[in-house]
Structure 1
Amino acid sequence: MSNRTRRELFADIGRGMIAASVGTAFAHDLGFATAFAADEPARLTFGDLDPLVNFLQGTPPDKLVSAVITKLKGGTELKQLVAAAALTNARAFGGEDYIGFHTLMALAPAFQMSQEETRAELKPLAVLKVLHRNASRLNDFGATKETLKAVTPGKLATNRGGEQLREVTRKGDLAAAEATFAAICANGKPEDALNELMVEVDDATEVHRVVLVSRAWDMTRFVGTERANTMLRQSVHYCVNVEKNANQAKYNAPIREQLPKLLDQYKLVGSKPGTKAADDAWVLRFADTVFKSDAAQSADAVAAALAEGISADAIGEALSLAANQLILRDDGRPKAWASAGKPEGSIHGDSIGVHACDTIHAWRNLASIGDRRTQVTSLILAGYQIGRDRANRAEFLKWDAYPRTEHSEKVKGLPADSLLKELDGAIRDKDQARAAALTARLSETSNSAKDVFNLFRTYAISEDGALHAEKYYATASDEFARARAAFKWRQLIALARVTASAYGYAAPAHKEACERLKA
């Protein structure tokens, strides 16, 4: 007779129940293992998307552009390729590789850019750029690399799965964290799984931790909510790896202590969302308060505003404006921070401002789709992040925002009908100050921002962008759309600076893609 324990027996029964309810093959597609404990973890499969996933995983970067264009001409939709690329990336890198997860985070923004393009022959360009980046990173590791495997759901000790997930994550126990999150996913709706995952994610705040979960959730629009587990478990891997760094635990200790105190002090968990409107003056004052405060003070200010009943949208807009200042005021990278493709004075790529804007954009998105707990913790942590990021360079409080007076003086006499052409020239000259001043002039003379966005999008696609061009373009575009009329163009002025900073570093395979598309 077998010597299997009762725990092993019931674990196998649990796996059998999942397989019986959805089918063995589909259980693997959802990311759940059905094999016995002694077996090797099953390969993660993706059902009807498997052929495209295997195509992308097996096509080398030097052949990818041509092969993808052939697929498109054969009837494959761009959205299908984005979905397959997300699954290819997730299975290969699992949220553990820096370039890998940056590539995943760029997929939905690239598709957004393709949808904005009016010329049919140009629509695939942004997506092709990111697909090529994905293929290049896969090639670096070997096309057979697979980080994510099908996982067996564990057992939830209570109905507070998020707290259990946070506990095992803090211990750096990846196997337990994976099993816990799989159980969370198996026991509820994808939206519930996201909210439970956020208990782990909001245990700290930094750009990749936050943007990864936001963009992973965004990808469920492409891969389907039934594959939310595959998308979201990348954050489990990321957060567990962070906990293995003792310095990170020390770095995150202050907010781990402050956040639960704020939730209790202001009685925010379980409270009803605020509905109080805020005028433009309040939004500006609150943005200024957050920008000038330290991290703890900023977090407290947000918690107090939530308790007062100010709407989450108004608070979020103020936070977006505060983060925007970290681009508008930035004097550029000091020499000590410069690197290849990101020289002294540049602000594109992983600059403090771009990172802050992408992070606050992600926190706002999570606040808008999660439950009340996710909403309040996301906004509090967004405030904390701005205060901490601003403190990284004390000079932010001394620097004036672009365009500065001397920049504006140089363009004030230019004819209105020449401004867009002049802006194009400023970008090509890598002149951030002039680009910002010209965009500010356009805000006064143009009835539409469409032509300006079209110009910036062209360069977000043609230039490399140091892994951040697509994401930040989407951030600026979304925040522009959300903002009140009085504040909209601040986002475009910041994007003008970043676009000029990033010019001159051509995106790999862009020229080939243009030639093959006859663009």
Structure 2
Amino acid sequence: MQSTTRRGFLADVGHSMLAVGLGTSLAADLGFSTAFAEEGNDSISLGSHQSLVELMRNTPAEKLQPLLAQLVAKGETSLKDLIAAGALANAVTFGGCDYVGFHTAMAMIPALEMTRKLPVKRQPLPVLKVLYRNSQQIQKAGSSSREALRAFHLAEHLAEHASDADLGVQIRNACRDVDSQLGERLLAKVSKSPLDAFNALQPAVQDDMNVHRFVFAYRTYGLVGLLGDEHSQTLLSQCVRHCCDHERMRIEHKQADPPIRALLPKLLDQYRLTDRPLGQRDPGDTAVLELSQAIYTGPRDRAAEAAAAALAEGISPEVVGEAISLASNLYVLRQGSDKSRVHGDSAGVHSSDATNAWRNMARLAETRHAISGLIVAAYHAGIQSAPFDTPAYPLDEHSALITVDSPERLLAVTEDAIRNNEQGLATAAIQVYGNRGFEVDPVLNLMLKYAVSEDGRLHGEKYFQTVCEEYKTTRPAFRWRQIVALARVTASSYGYNREDKHGFRAAGYEEACHLLGVEA
């Protein structure tokens, strides 16, 4: 008799039940049967998500979406479980090393957060949207024939690497050597909790200037919170792979060592920040605005030093992070004319998402990593681009076009401007709305509508969540700048697909609306 592993047995049972639930002909059409290919003893454990993960990895997007909508409608799964399974399907397929793949993973928690702001019948839309994108990329990569992450046995490999030195530094050095296997094994030694593992990743995440390594680390840790400790090694190992892959590309392109590797320890020593407790001082609105301007105008070394000096003066990391966030926001508000593409991988969206990630990581991490992370965040905010010459939107000429003053009419003007890609008019209407003291929720509901329906060049979900969080953590004098920036990005993105062709909605969106019986 052929021996069967426990996981193999459970997988066969799960797949058999899935095949029965789908029907024989449909299951066969999708490539399922009651007998599945063996995956080997070193495959990643998928636990209770096994069947859904396999469904997502083996089903084309256009066939997957009706099945998922049906499962949700029947109450046989939840939106949370769909995102959990989608995250695992993404992890085992890409391992953090596929451009569309890791962008999709970064959108999963924001998509789930979006569901809480929607009417019940529309709640599945952002989840179906991101899982459609996930399935498309998995199929493009070769479906389940490609498995990036594998389990491994630690005892055989760790003796020669055992050390009392800082595991975070060892992981960082492994990434510098492009040795992902060593990095993953070192990460697995951090066994106390996922938060300890997350702290051990910080030196590697801070080791180079790439928005994706920052946001991916933060959003991946969020997925650990969603899926639980049993999947933390699977999910966080992707961060090691991602950093190694970024280092590999740097070496292949014969690029110099990132300057932050020399600058960060220099600033930590110069301002005696290594063992310093976090301060609690808030210097007031004017000082925060001045710090944000110093970071925005740069250059990047001075931006990092401005943050280091502020932390050394005892200014609260929340306040320093707020100033960096306002600097990042300026990239959106000052990026050229109405014809500028400010959505997707633009300077402002990238910088804002990166700063949001660093602020959140500083709240989670050990003090030393919180301090160094905010310095890196300021450096990154100063590296995005030369400061734009355009004044911050809206310009006076845009504000002069606003002749209404009720909240309903201002929102109507905003929506019309979005549909016509009029960035200046959209920002002007929202600025007037905010200045009048009207409630923010109706604006966010309007923007959410388009964050779900439009492609956003892989960044729509993340940036919407960034703005929601930054609005709440920015002082009243400046917080509406975040909403004005969201209006501009929303107007920029309307109707454009990933290739910047106009006249498109997000892939799968209209079909999802039809399946759910809601208006597209």
The 3-state SS of whatever aligns with 1:330 is coil
The Cα shift of 1:413 comes to 5.1
Distance 1:385 1:248, change over 3 A: farther
Match of 2:46 in 1: 46
Distance 1:414 1:447, change over 3 A: closer
The Cα shift of 1:140 comes to 0.6
Does 2:495 align with 1:504? yes
Match of 2:513 in 1: 514
Distance 1:416 1:201, change over 3 A: closer
The Cα shift of 1:251 comes to 4.9
Conserved 8 A contact 2:470-2:482: yes
Distance 1:410 1:332, change over 3 A: closer
Match of 1:312 in 2: 317
Match of 2:214 in 1: 210
Does 2:365 align with 1:360? no
The Cα shift of 1:173 comes to 1.6
Conserved 8 A contact 1:290-1:387: yes
Query: Percent of aligned pairs with the same residue?
Result: 39
The Cα shift of 1:258 comes to 0.6
What do residues 152-191 of structure 1 show as CA deviations (whole Å, max 9, x unaligned)? 333432241111111121111222222222223xx32211
Distance 1:414 1:273, change over 3 A: closer
Distance 1:416 1:143, change over 3 A: closer
Q: How far, CA to CA, are the matches of 1:57 and 1:251 in structure 2?
A: 38
Distance 1:242 1:416, change over 3 A: closer
Conserved 8 A contact 1:190-1:226: no
Does 2:371 align with 1:376? yes
The alignment of Structure 1 onto Structure 2 pairs a total of residues equal to: 470
Conserved 8 A contact 1:326-1:353: yes
Select which of 432, 451, 464 maps to 1:460. 451
Match of 1:180 in 2: 186
Q: TM-score, normalised by structure 1?
A: 0.87
What do residues 336-392 of structure 1 show as CA deviations (whole Å, max 9, x unaligned)? xxxxxxxx621111001110000011111111100011101110001101111133x
CA RMSD of aligned residues (A): 2.1
Q: How far, CA to CA, are the matches of 1:265 and 1:331 in structure 2?
A: 37
Match of 1:161 in 2: 167
**Residue range with higher mean Cα deviation, 102-111 or 134-143:** 134-143
The 3-state SS of whatever aligns with 1:271 is coil
The Cα shift of 1:51 comes to 1.7
The Cα shift of 1:278 comes to 2.6
Q: How far, CA to CA, are the matches of 1:346 and 1:183 in structure 2?
A: 45
Structure 1 unaligned regions, length at least 5: 1-22, 30-38, 334-343
Match of 1:192 in 2: 196
The 3-state SS of whatever aligns with 1:390 is coil
Match of 2:82 in 1: 81
What do residues 426-452 of structure 1 show as CA deviations (whole Å, max 9, x unaligned)? 000000010010110111235201111
Q: Tell me the amino acid that sits aligned with residue 450 of structure 2.
A: Y
The Cα shift of 1:49 comes to 1.5
Distance 1:67 1:416, change over 3 A: closer
Match of 1:63 in 2: 63
**Residue range with higher mean Cα deviation, 242-251 or 443-452:** 242-251
Q: How far, CA to CA, are the matches of 2:446 and 2:270 in structure 1?
A: 48
Conserved 8 A contact 2:333-2:392: yes
Conserved 8 A contact 2:289-2:323: yes
Q: Tell me the amino acid that sits aligned with residue 419 of structure 1.
A: L
The Cα shift of 1:70 comes to 1.3
Matches within 5 A, 1:460-499: 460-499=451-490
Match of 1:408 in 2: 399
Q: How far, CA to CA, are the matches of 1:309 and 1:446 in structure 2?
A: 33
Match of 1:223 in 2: 227
The Cα shift of 1:314 comes to 0.5
Conserved 8 A contact 1:132-1:509: yes
Conserved 8 A contact 1:165-1:177: yes
Match of 2:113 in 1: 112
Conserved 8 A contact 2:300-2:379: yes
The Cα shift of 1:254 comes to 1.2
Distance 1:464 1:107, change over 3 A: same
Conserved 8 A contact 2:407-2:438: no
Q: How far, CA to CA, are the matches of 1:384 and 1:74 in structure 2?
A: 49
Conserved 8 A contact 1:269-1:373: yes
Matches within 5 A, 1:120-159: 120-144=120-144, 145-153=146-154, 154=158, 155-159=161-165
The 3-state SS of whatever aligns with 1:389 is coil
Q: How far, CA to CA, are the matches of 1:436 and 1:120 in structure 2?
A: 29
Q: TM-score, normalised by structure 2?
A: 0.87
Q: How far, CA to CA, are the matches of 1:345 and 1:203 in structure 2?
A: 31
Conserved 8 A contact 1:178-1:236: yes
Match of 2:433 in 1: 442
Q: Tell me the amino acid that sits aligned with residue 506 of structure 2.
A: A
The Cα shift of 1:206 comes to 1.6
Q: Tell me the amino acid that sits aligned with residue 86 of structure 2.
A: A
Does 2:83 align with 1:92? no
Runs of 4+ in 1 over 6 A off after TM superposition: 23-26
Q: Tell me the amino acid that sits aligned with residue 142 of structure 1.
A: G
Conserved 8 A contact 1:287-1:322: yes
**Residue range with higher mean Cα deviation, 59-68 or 241-250:** 241-250
Match of 1:233 in 2: 237
The Cα shift of 1:66 comes to 0.8
**Residue range with higher mean Cα deviation, 128-137 or 403-412:** 403-412
